[in-house]
Amino acid sequence: MSVLLLAEIQGSELVLDATAKAVGAISGLGEVTVLCAGHDCGSAANAAAGIAGVAKVLHADDPSLAHGLAEPLAALVSDLARQFSHVAAPSTAAAKNVLPRVAALIDVMVISDVTAVIDAESFERPIYAGNALQTVRSLDATKVLTIRTATFDAAGEQAPAPVETIATAADPGLSEWIEDKVVISDRPELSSARIVVSGGRGVGSEEDFALVAGLADTLGAAVGASRAAVDAGYAPNDWQVGQTGKVVAPDLYVAIGISGAIQHLAGMKDSKVIVAINKDPDAPIFQVADVGLVGDLFEVVPQLRAAL
C-alpha cells in the first residue's frame, strides 16, 4: 500500500503543523509520498522532505497552481491518484475544496474529517456535530480522505527524503484567481495554537471583544469566537470556532461569555484543558469545562489579566 498526501501550502510555504500531523495520522497505511503543488514552492518541498515517515516528495511547480485553485490542483492529483491506495490531505478549507473534486474525477467516495485510522479500509469520523462517531469502511480501489489533524500528533523530523520534480496536468481553465485578502497578525494561527481564548455573545459588542483579545495577548494565545459572536459582528469570520468554523484542540481553551451550544462544542471539545467563564451557572459550557468560573466577565477578565 502507498499513500499520496497533499501538503498544505500557503503562498509558497509549507504549513508544517497541519502537514506533519497528517503524516502522523496516515503513516501506518504504507509508504507516504507528499505532493507539494504550487508556484516557487521549492522551500515547501524541502521542508516536507524532512518530516519523519515521508518516503518521497513530488514537487509540482506551475503558475496555474500559484493560488491554490481547486480545478488545476484536482486535475493534477487525479492524474496521480490511481498509482496509490490512499489519497489524503489535512482537513482544511483548501483540501475540502480539492479532494471531493478528485474523488469525483476518479469515481470514488470521499471520507471527510477522519479522526482515527482503524485499518486500510476503515476510518472513524464524527457525525451529528461530534455527538456520535461513525466508522466508515471503503472498498474503493483508491481511498480519498481528509484528516482532522487536531486529534493527531505531528510526525517528527528525519534526514531529508528525495524530492522529485514532476510535470503538472493541463489547466482545465474553469476558474481564475482575482485577488487574495490576507489578514496579517502577530498572534498564533488559530488552528494550530497551543492556547486559544474565545469570546461569545455574552461579550456584548465588538468594542468589548478587546477584553478577549487582551487576555489572549497576555497568554500568547490565538483569538477565537463563537458563531453567535461572529454573526453579531463582534469578531471576523476567520476567528469562528465550531461545527461551521475551525476545529481546534489546544492545550488550553478559554471560553468567555460562551454558553456552549452543541455546534460550538463540536469545534473545541477535544481541547486538553477547558476553562469557562460565564455568569449563568447552568450554561452548557460548564458540562465540558475542566475549570468553570461563574461570574461577570467584565469583572473577572481584567482581574485575571492583572494576576497573569
Name the pLDDT band for 138 (thresholds 50, 70, 90).
Answer: very high
Pick the closest to residue 252 from 185, 187, 188, 197 (CA basis): 197
pLDDT mean over 119-143: 90
Q: Tell me the pLDDT of the chain averaged across its residues.
A: 91
Helix ranges (H only) for the chain are 16-26, 42-49, 70-81, 93-106, 210-219, 227-231, 262-265, 297-307
Are the C-beta atoms of 22 and 152 separated by less than 8 Å?
yes
The burial of 217, by beta-carbon neighbours within 10 Å (0-12 exposed, 13-18 middle, 19 or more buried), is given as middle
Question: Which of 83-87, 126-130, 148-152, 180-184 is predicted with the least confidence, judged by mean pLDDT?
Answer: 180-184
Res. 129: pLDDT tops 80: no
pLDDT mean over 175-185: 78
Angle between helices 297-307 and 210-219 (to 10 degrees): 20
For residue 221, what pLDDT is reported?
Answer: 94
For residue 175, what pLDDT is reported?
Answer: 84
* CA distance to 10, 52, 112, 280, per residue, from 187 (Å): 17, 28, 29, 30
pLDDT digits (tens, 9 = 90+) for 233-251: 999 998 999 988 888 989 9
Written as nine digits, the cell of 104 is: 469525483
For residue 132, what pLDDT is reported?
Answer: 87
For residue 127, what pLDDT is reported?
Answer: 86
pLDDT mean over 24-33: 92
Q: In whole angstroms, give the CA distance from residue 167 to residue 105.
A: 19
Name the pLDDT band for 184 (thresholds 50, 70, 90).
Answer: confident
Res. 183: pLDDT tops 80: no
pLDDT mean over 138-150: 92
Res. 185: pLDDT tops 80: no
**What percentage of the chain reaches a pLDDT higher than 70?**
100
Question: Which of 111-120, 123-132, 158-167, 295-304 is predicted with the least confidence, judged by mean pLDDT?
Answer: 123-132
**Neighbour tally for 307: CB within 10 Å:** 7
pLDDT digits (tens, 9 = 90+) for 256-272: 999 998 889 988 988 99
Name the pLDDT band for 75 (thresholds 50, 70, 90).
Answer: very high
Name the pLDDT band for 116 (thresholds 50, 70, 90).
Answer: very high
pLDDT digits (tens, 9 = 90+) for 32-71: 999 999 888 889 999 999 999 999 999 999 888 888 889 9
Q: 3-state class of 166 per DSSP? A: strand
